[in-house]
Amino acid sequence: LAKTTQPISMDSYEGQEVNITCSHNNIATNDYITWYQQFPSQGPRFIIQGYKTKVTNEVASLFIPADRKSSTLSLPRVSLSDTAVYYCLVGSTSGTYKYIFGTGTRLKVLA
Amino acid sequence: NAGVTQTPKFQVLKTGQSMTLQCAQDMNHEYMSWYRQDPGMGLRLIHYSVGAGITDQGEVPNGYNVSRSTTEDFPLRLLSAAPSQTSVYFCASSSRGTGNTIYFGEGSWLTVV
């Protein structure tokens, strides 16, 4: 299982782009990288998933360098409603399915 | 489209009591798990299952039991509740077909007094 390391917290202002980096030095060949968002009093929800290079969807982009030892979640033009905890998770469906979450990054968006 | 359903949403227990948190998913996912989340903290894996009849321990399994008799259901049993088990409990499921995309329930808030 690839252990992940993220910054504990980040502050940003509305309208700015936010980049949250996750380190996963022991990532395995079959591992995907998935990011989740959690609002207070709710379960985490899927944001984006990738294996290599860049993935973009309607809410975020995920950048993964060639060595895949880190990944960066990019949130364009954040708003107050993006205040949440963001988790990166590394795992594979050919592995043990023992999905261990890291501490997550607490993002606070300021007006 | 129910997804992952947890019951009860809120529960207060006295120390030493036992109870079962129910979890059901209607997505035919083979993988299910239970996490606990203490206030201001991250998610910690309690137990997980890769299919009916197969369960295994996570990071913090002590004080909890699980069973997986069907694909749909994965109940979590607290054997003898302790104040240290006061937490929010999340059930989750996923499938090989979705990579490691995990779908979470809405949580069960448990207070042990």
Q: pLDDT digit string (tens) for B36-78?
A: 999 889 999 999 999 999 999 999 999 999 999 999 999 999 9
**Residue A46: both structure tokens together:** 């899927």
Q: CA B102, CA B113: separation in Å to the nearest integer?
A: 32
pLDDT of residue A24: 93
Residue B18, number of CB atoms within 10 A of its CB:
11
pLDDT at A94: 63
Q: Which of B43, B46, B57, B108 to mutate to test the interface with A (most CBs of A within 10 A)?
A: B43
**CA distance readout (Å), B44 to B20, B38, B73:** 18, 9, 20
Mean pLDDT, all residues of chain B: 94
Cα–Cα distance between A103 and B86 in angstroms, integer?
A: 19
A5 touches chain B (CB under 8 A): no
* A contacts of B4 (beta carbons < 8 Å): 43
Q: What percent of chain A has pLDDT over 70?
A: 95
A64-106 pLDDT, tens digit per residue, is: 999 999 999 999 999 999 999 999 998 876 666 788 888 899 9
User: Whole-angstrom Cα distance, residue A75 to residue A18?
Assistant: 5
Residue A27 has pLDDT above 60, yes or no: yes
- Shortest CB distance from B99 goes to which of A45, A93, A100? A93
**Is residue B89 scored above 70 in pLDDT?**
yes
Looking at residue B26, what DSSP letter applies? Answer: S
CB contact A83 to B (< 8 Å): no
Q: What percent of chain A has pLDDT over 90?
A: 76
